Amino acid sequence: MSEYNLSSSVVRLAIPNKGRLREPVMDLLERAGVKVLIRDEKILSSPTSRPDIHAFFLRAEDIPTMVELGAADAGITGLDMILERGADVEELLDLRVGAAEVVLAVSSRSGIRSVNDLPDNARIATRYVNLAKRFLGERAPGKRFRIIEVGGAAEIMPALGVADAIVDVRSTGMTLRSHGLEAIEVILKTSARLIACRDLPREKRDAIEKLRLMLEGVLNAEKRKMVMMNVPDRCLRAVLEVIPSMGGPTIAKVEAKEPMWEVYAVMSEDQVYDVVVEAKKRGARDIVILDVEKIIP
């Protein structure tokens, strides 16, 4: 990566170059204030809207190793990839995008309902070699399996007669069903994680911590709304009884002919309907509901 002649203080952030994580990750970064300026899938790197962060596009499965080695200072990839590679990296934040499950799946017509129903020397096709070995060893000790490593398209292997089962990632289950497969065991629940190299200079570590803070702020704001209303003084106590908020509602005096207060609070999206209806009934007016972009703890 040195050929890019980046300043020694610029954070090299590794992002998946394709697949189910790429677009959700870049969208989340943009909401956090870090916009990837070149989104062409043929491009290997791109500056971002932050001069202290430069994005590099790598295979999701390679990112843990690159971060562990320090070739990238930080990265975003799936927990499944981190555990599969066994990378010694610092996990900073669950980004809650790209949620999926790594599952053991078999033909829906096989009659197999658990790992213990698999025959001895069953063939398992997967790119998750280490996760599969660990799982099979823990759940079916003493039973022998043959792991067949494949780079992709594991779903077709049972139909080709290559494998008796597969270990693969499932998001919606549609791909498995379309190939006549069903999941019989969940090995791991996974989602995108922000990770960092353990050996970083203070300046880069500070920049990555700022990134983590802004990403966390975006996640905290998901499904939250800001509700603002004017409340006559005579109704204030009754309205406050129905206002939930993170640390207590904020109240400010309004310059009006009638003694009036502005009341505003952040609450979960599913609370808004009942709160607004009840607050209105108790005398609140001029109610405004706003989206929340970030909540910094």
CA distances from 39 to 16, 26, 51, 117, 215 (A): 12, 9, 17, 46, 20
Question: Is residue 297 a part of any domain in this protein?
Answer: no
CA dist., res. 217 & res. 115, Å (int): 41
Phi, psi angles (nearest 5°) of residue 77: -155, 175
Per the CB < 8 A criterion, the answer to whether 90 and 197 are in contact is: yes
Question: Is residue 276 a part of any domain in this protein?
Answer: yes
Question: Is residue 41 a part of any domain in this protein?
Answer: yes
> What is residue 2's predicted lDDT score, i.e. its pLDDT?
41
pLDDT at 245 over 80: no
Q: Are residues 161 and 246 in the same domain?
A: no
pLDDT band at 158 (very low <50, low <70, confident <90, very high): very high
How do residues 89-148 score in pLDDT, each as one tens digit?
999 999 999 999 999 999 999 999 999 999 999 999 999 999 999 999 999 998 999 999
Domain boundary among 221, 241, 265: 221
CA-nearest of 232, 223, 209 to 284 is 232
Tokens of 36: 């990837």
Percent share of the chain, pLDDT over 70: 98
pLDDT at 73 over 70: yes
Tokens of 1: 């990566």
Tokens of 283: 């005398």
Q: Are residues 65 and 85 in the same domain?
A: yes
> What is residue 6's predicted lDDT score, i.e. its pLDDT?
81
Residue 263 identity (one-letter amino acid): V
pLDDT band at 165 (very low <50, low <70, confident <90, very high): very high
Question: Is residue 296 a part of any domain in this protein?
Answer: no
Q: Are residues 138 and 279 in the same domain?
A: no
> What is residue 244's predicted lDDT score, i.e. its pLDDT?
87
Q: Are residues 71 and 137 in the same domain?
A: no
Question: Is residue 239 a part of any domain in this protein?
Answer: yes
Domain tally, the chain:
3
Domain boundary among 221, 242, 264: 221
Range of the domain at 280: 224-291
> What is residue 4's predicted lDDT score, i.e. its pLDDT?
60
CA dist., res. 78 & res. 20, Å (int): 10
- The pTM of the full predicted model, rounded to 2 decimals, is 0.88
Per the CB < 8 A criterion, the answer to whether 167 and 154 are in contact is: yes
> What is residue 134's predicted lDDT score, i.e. its pLDDT?
96
Question: Is residue 61 a part of any domain in this protein?
Answer: yes
Q: Are residues 90 and 147 in the same domain?
A: no
Percent share of the chain, pLDDT over 90: 89
Per the CB < 8 A criterion, the answer to whether 155 and 132 are in contact is: no
Q: Are residues 104 and 173 in the same domain?
A: yes
Domain containing residue 267: CATH number: 3.30.70.120
pLDDT at 219 over 60: yes
pLDDT band at 3 (very low <50, low <70, confident <90, very high): very low
pLDDT band at 287 (very low <50, low <70, confident <90, very high): very high
pLDDT band at 152 (very low <50, low <70, confident <90, very high): confident
| 96 phi-psi bin (left φ>0, alpha ψ -120 to 50, beta other) | left
- Segment 281-292 mean pLDDT: 96
Question: Is residue 107 a part of any domain in this protein?
Answer: yes
Domain containing residue 161: CATH number: 3.40.190.10
CA dist., res. 172 & res. 184, Å (int): 15
Q: Are residues 8 and 91 in the same domain?
A: yes
Q: Are residues 88 and 199 in the same domain?
A: yes
Q: Are residues 104 and 179 in the same domain?
A: yes
Question: Is residue 25 a part of any domain in this protein?
Answer: yes
> What is residue 97's predicted lDDT score, i.e. its pLDDT?
96
